[in-house]
Structure 1
């Protein structure tokens, strides 16, 4: 059960004299105990969350539909049925995202799909993880996650696509491997995949895995900003626009889940926001992890 997400929580629990019992060595399921109170956890998901609310929030299609009905700004979206329908959706929006409906960590997600060939490949990639695939309008903006504990805003992060820095003699592939080797010692889940999505991102900037970037050149190697595909994270808790925070609070109350991440794409120039996903089984990870874990433990056991 040793992962950076669970140890962030369990380290904070130990500081407060809370006992930890691991229920499964291969999954992040554990029980926290203080006095007579026991709380079963899966990462930061607990039995305090209703099953129906969790399923709705975790399912990207269901969450999008629910929020749209409550006038929350979300990208246009359709479930994938067949390639003809998918092509119509692509022609309508010209640039789309294809993703599995319930996966996390960027698995099976393809961003910036613009051609029929890319669309067919993206659907196949998404279906490797599940049959339920979502087609979504691509919207431009900075990627933010606002994190709530006990319905209260506790942290915000900005996520940026994975970047490597050239040294003037190493190939892109070598630089990615070097990045992955360093990050593996810190968080094994923070890795840049050497896959078709990375190859596609490089092609858009006229580069390849074999290209040698100039010394100190910054090269964006992914189109998505997910932490689990090498994305960078900045803590922005004290820099969030008030209107975005008000919208996020409304979303959390509507969904009815006390511990959750609300993911936005934000066009700060035009002051437009879109909710792109909800994270009801929040992985409490660096760099905002310790602060979120502190609020999480206080919430579970009503501590000061």
Structure 2
């Protein structure tokens, strides 16, 4: 009995001690969890449920989570309009089985660079340099590049708050001449973030401005980040790249990256829809101008049927309403409006009656017309273009001699049997996209340029720049080497065989059309109100709900202009980050709007007269 009485208190004490031990263990576990916020994981080494907020979403380092259910639970807390990524998933098939309706296996490959054997390149960047993100202006520029590359944008305040982070690094490339940020990359130091025993690091969000004129920007950004982590003692640098991004994969393999069996899992959301939803027949054959609209429609749950991929035709259906489109041309644009835009002489007369300023113009039907010499003598410099045509075909700018003018007329006659001669207005080419009679986007279109390197002739430089423009635009933009190119070079005392000195930049064609190698630079936020009024007035005069109005202007910030033409099927993909596709779908299906129609995603009201 004595043993029994004395043993009972010891049993109670053991239970109390065990209970206390469990409570202490829970407290220790809680104390090891990373703090909430952008600097999560920097409070000290931890291997417990590490999720790094990157602004566009969270990176979940799956190797730090205790089990698969905890990863699924973390993904379920993904924020609105965010994209979380669970990386380093050990058993993706098991993880997916826990929530097959909510998650999917990201169709990306993982590549790894062994930093112990990596050797830095001796080649230095030309005409640009690499540095850390250093200002709010840098953050805004990075967001612009993200938007142009269809990536999720980040609050500029987030970039600024993390500029001194020990675990996340933002690097940018800056154009030496203009000071513009032309590329960016983000790096994560795993060891500093959560005490990674493997001493890993990773690369995220590599992006180069699609209008960038310099070769090798992406390569130099990757190299600088690799050297940064190598200096910190990291063992390797990983990255995730879409399986069909052949251009990026070729770059990574060139730098020594090797594919490794590491997987990522994401949550099904509108941003990721194209990665997990059933493919639309013909989608891959669509051009970028049709695809941007189809993508926006799918994000809103609008049914899409591609009716002729090669021609850019598709049908959209929502709420019992169906609309057939060819890129940004829909059934809402009348045949009369299309015919007005189709004939540049008719367009000019219509907008002139509406009070717009137009250049002097005549029509000719052969290169022997007697009016040619008189018109050229009257204006000194003229433009020759077919009365009907698109994408800059047959257009020649800045002609000053009868011989060049007649040759240009013969070229234009191959496009249309009627040719227009127009007084040349010296300035910049401005495209204004008007949807529902409101300005949605404005951009300066600049002619193609190349920058000399002191080694290669102009023919080679043009060919390389043409390849870069094609890669950046899905094959839509290339630089022709033709009579107009030769004429432009000759006017500068150059030829295709000239080796341009390093750093010298020249224009190689006078036309700024995207399809002939031109580049597009957004000016929506600074365009002069009088230009906005004129563009909206032109749209109302033509009675066209979606149109691209082209002006020649001194500057986008000044009111002087002359009307050039109206495009009934403007390329909406050329104007990101402005919400052109969103406003187009708003027009077709107003009840599908996810946000108030009067407010753009950037918070800036659209402009209208």
TM over 0.5: yes
1:42 pairs, out of 323, 326, 334, with 326
Larger Cα-atom Rg? 2
Measure, in 1, the Cα distance between the counterparts of 2:351 and 2:446.
25
Work out the CA distance in 2 between the residues paired with 1:4 and 1:93: 39
Q: TM-score if structure 2 supplies the norm length?
A: 0.49
Aligned-residue offset at 1:181: 1.8
Distance across 1 between alignment mates of 2:503 and 2:479:
19
User: In structure 1, what is the equivalent of residue 588 of structure 2?
Assistant: 300
Would you say how many aligned residue pairs link Structure 1 and Structure 2?
Answer: 304
What does residue 189 of structure 1 align with? 476
2:504 is equivalent to residue 220 of structure 1: no
- After superposition, the C-alpha distances for 1:219-273 in whole angstroms (9 at most, x for unaligned) are 1101111111111110111111112112222212111111111111112498421
Q: Does 1:180 align with 2:497?
A: no
Larger RCO (alpha carbons 8 Å, 6+ apart): 1
The answer as to whether partners of 2:329 and 2:546 remain within 8 angstroms in 1 is yes
**Contact 1:165–1:215 (Cα < 8 Å) also in 2:** yes
For residue 129 of structure 1, the aligned residue among 406, 415, 419 is 415
Cα distance, 1:289 vs structure 2? 6.8
Aligned mates of 2:371, 2:528 — CA distance in 1: 38
Please tell me whether residue 262 in structure 1 is matched to residue 546 in structure 2: no
The 1:197/1:150 distance shift into structure 2, 3 A limit, reads same
Greater displacement, 134-143 / 20-29: 20-29
Deviation at 1:182, TM superposition (A): 2.1
Residue of structure 1 in register with 2:441 after alignment: 155
For 2:559 and 2:545, locate their aligned partners in 1 and report how far apart those are by CA, in whole Å.
27
In structure 2, the CA distance between the partners of 1:15 and 1:270, relative to structure 1 (3 Å rule), is closer
- Alpha carbons of structure 1 residues 200 and 80: separation in structure 2 relative to 1, 3 Å: same
- How well do the aligned residues superpose, as a CA RMSD in angstroms? 1.6
Unmatched tracts of structure 1, length 5 or more = none
**Which one is further off, 10-19 or 283-292?**
283-292
Q: In the TM superposition, what is the alpha-carbon distance from 1:142 to its structure 2 partner?
A: 1.4
**1-side partners of 2:491 and 2:397: how far apart?**
12
- Structure 1 Cα separation of the partners of residues 416 and 331 of structure 2: 26
CA contact under 8 A between 2:383 and 2:424: conserved in structure 1? yes
The question of whether the paired residues in 2 share the 8 Å contact of 1:12 and 1:290 is answered with no
Q: Deviations over 1:63-104 (max 9, x none)?
A: 112222333101111111342122222122121111011211
Q: Distance in 1 between matches of 2:419 and 2:304?
A: 37
Q: CA offsets per residue over residues 102-138 of structure 1, 9 Å max, x none?
A: 2111100011111111111011100111102111111
Q: Which secondary structure state, in structure 2, belongs to the residue aligned with residue 286 of structure 1?
A: helix
- Give yes or no for contact 2:530–2:559 (8 Å, CA) kept in 1: no
CA distance in 2, matches of 1:6, 1:77: 34
Query: Could you tell me whether the CA contact under 8 Å between 2:364 and 2:420 is conserved in 1?
Result: yes
